[in-house]
Each structure stands twice: as structure tokens, then as C-alpha cells.
Structure 1
């Protein structure tokens, strides 16, 4: 697992033009072997400038222009020891915490609720699967026990407000054909299958409430992402790892010496 904690780009104007200064740092952890590593890299105008060799606990540079900075930073032993402690403890602790958060989400499984909906006897029949997690789902139709693909329209995957998902598939058949044959909607999710063949008739012109909620959730999600992105942009040092709690107390940010 790799955690890239922070990237920071500065753009400056000098007599020779516009230049960029970029930092990227983070850590890596192998949950099988327990091996850990870290990286702290700086770039200048899109090219590698200086980087931290954590094993040797020294800064190195692939270009001649970076030598003065390397020499200055390597003489600051207190900063090097601080970096060593940060990358070998706090960064790894946060990475392990995020891995656990991810595993708890990935292991979560919720089966879908399946309904057949029809506005009127002359309307298409919609198979509505909702409330499932994770998002992978397959919706298909059967006619007299055989797969049926004609006049079928598969809808888009939509999010629900509780973090689950919903999806629809609509089939267009005549009332006479529906009565003479047995049509079934088959929903497969996480190795489990649900089949539905009983139609619930909706009032004329109505729309399933789940579809409305899903569409609104999609819009709200876009707004939240936009606001979050703006806040992250405004906070140049937006990530400050903490030890032992998530409330921001006892925070210890990774700092950078002057070049």
C-alpha cells in the first residue's frame, strides 16, 4: 500500500521567467511482510531536484544545481531525525489506519431489493434493483425460463443517499405477450441471485421514489466534491497527521527546511 500524503506546487517569477517548485512525499507499507518505506521528493521546473534517502538518512540530488541545497539540508541533523521519525512512525500509522478503513468498506455487502414497476397496463415494465453494495450488479430478463434480450433498455448505475446503489432495466412488451408468457427479472449480486415476476402498478405518470432520490444524491455528491476540492486547494498544508486520535490533537506536520 502507498499513501501519498501531500503534494505542493509553488510558482514563482524571477528575472529569467516563471519557475515551479514541487514537493511530493508519502510512505509505503507491505501488509504481508511488514516492510515499510518512504519518499520525499522535490522537483524544479518539472525535473527531479533533490530527494530523501531515508535508509542513509541524507538528501541526494541528480543535478549539479541541487548540490548546495543538499549540503545545507544534510547539515541540519535535527531535521533529518525529525523526518526519520515522521516517516517511520506517524506516516505508517496513518497508512495502516486508512487500509483498515478501506477493508471495512470493501467487505461490506448489502443485497438488493428488487421490484417490477409499471405505470399502467400499456407502459414498459421496469425492474428496479436498489439498496445494494458494492456497486457491481447484473440485471437480465428471462422469457419462459430462457434469456431474453429484445426490447430491453438497461439504465445507469445511480447512488443512493445512504451510500448504496440502484439500477434499472426496462422491457417493452405488449400486454397480450406478457399474459401469454412468463417474464422474469433476474438480478445477480455478489454471487447471489434474485428473481422477480410480480408487477406492482404505479399511479399514472409517477416515478419510483428511489430513482428520484438517487438522481438528487448524484447532484449533491457533485456539489460536495466541488466544495471539498476548493477547500483542499485553499489549504496549502491541508494534511497534518496525528498520533492516537482523529480529532486533530497532538498533530505533527511534515515541515520543509529553507532551500
Structure 2
């Protein structure tokens, strides 16, 4: 595993913003059409690379494609570990855990994550966790060099791991030291990409006149952003619901914050505005609460087109005719069946 982590651990970044790398491993047993091992690398929570034991490997974003193009030995290293070494390691580990649960068949999944987050102000934080069949199983404290089991079945494996002192020291070294060796190479290729800022598209949405107004920001990067409602320049905390920051398929992010307007008088609407702040961008994105700019799919009943009403009425009439015809058809069929039975008898 040492060589794989050397490729992608972008920790200790000399930047005032946070950067993180997460490597997610998913080993499975008994699931058809799913590779026995899938590995995903996330840089700043955006997928950077993917490979599986079915001999598929993908590099995402042009900046990382260029890195591997310029350094073909890295691709060769990743390929060997993903296609050969790691599948064997995770298969044996999964088999060992199944034994602890007295399982010999069925669908089972082992998930394992190693992550590193770097912050110039607070330092580096590390996380090593393992889960089995959707539940926490075991974790590793890098600072204390200690494994912790979350289930009784993990106790035996915990003792085995702690007995392997060399493996513990290698794990600690990989996460806390070796990444700095590869930092310069990573920043040479990815610093501008990792430090880029993309402003959002901010809009107001509302399902119906009685629904909260949602301020929605989409397509921004990075995910270090805040959004809030304010009245007369003062941030609001009541009647406000904050949503989580969610990823988009293109690597950008989206978020929303809802405002309950049930107690807001129409003449006071323009006293409210939504503010979006993005780390690294000086100017805020501000949009004022205004009915004219709210987007909605709701149509008042009185404004439903006459053609649509006529279409519904005609549709109901046709449905009634069909149902009536069905009853008549079934009645004739039943009468005919009785006549046939009489003839036979």
C-alpha cells in the first residue's frame, strides 16, 4: 500500500486554505457484476482517480492526467498495486472478517478509508476507519498508534494488527511523513487547480406562495463557502433553514438556505436579501428578496389554460365510456359462457 499512497497524498500544503485527500477502498464478496475491489481517490472531496480489480483504471481532471502522462512510472505503479497486490490483500482481510462472524456465503462488503486533511492554522488531521456490511468495524488513531474495535468480532483482528509493530509504523510513516516528499510534485501540477475559485449562480426558488423561499447557489468551487439571509443588513437566525453543501457531477458544489416568509409583509420583502460568501473571493454574491426574480413551477388554479381543463374533462369522459364498455363486455361474456355450459350439459 505504500507506493499507492505516495502517488496521491497531498498533505502539508503550504497554503492558508484546507486541502484533503481521501482514499476509499471497497472490497466485496458474493456480489455479481461488481469488482472484488474498487479504489477511489478524492482530492478536496472531488474524485481524482478510480481503479478496480477488473483491470479498469481512470484518471480524472486534466491536471492529474498530465501528471501521469509526464510520469508514466506512476501509472505503472498504480496499475500493479490496483490490479494485483491490493485485491489479494483485501480478499484475505475480508475472508478473515467473515470467519469472525461465522459467515461462509452471502453478500458482504468491507470498506476502508484513509484520509489526510491539512490546515495551515490548525495543522494536519488524519483518519483511518474500516466498516463491514454498512456498520463501523475498526479505526486507527495515528497519534496514539492504537487500533480501536467497534464490534466484538473486531477484537481478534485488532490484537493481530497491534501485534504487527512494523505495519503500524509503516502506516504512520505513510500518512505523516512520506506525503511531504510528493508534495512538491503534486503542487507543480495541481496548485492552480486546487486553489482555483469558481463563483456560483445564485437564484431564488419557491414551490408555492406558502412555501419558504430557497436561496440556491450552484456551480461554485471550492466548498469553503457560507450563505445566509439577512434583514436590513443584519444576519437572520430565526425562520431560516440551512442546507448542506453538496457536490455536483462536474466537481463543483451547490448549497441552499431557506427563509420562511409566512410572517413577512409584502411591503417588507425588499428589506431581505440572501448573501453568498466564497473563500478566496472578495466580493459577495447578493440577491434581494423580490417576487419578480423568484423561479417557480407553481401555476394558480385560475390560470390553468382552458385547453388543459377541456383535455382533462374529455379524458374523464373517455375513461367513463371505457369503464362502461368494459362492464357491458364482461356481462355479455358471462352470459355467453352460461349458454355454452348449458349446451355442454
Alignment TM-score, normalising by the size of structure 1: 0.43
The structure whose residues are more often strand, as a share, is 1
User: Normalised by the size of structure 2, how large is the TM-score?
Assistant: 0.33
Which of 1 and 2 has greater Rg? Answer: 2
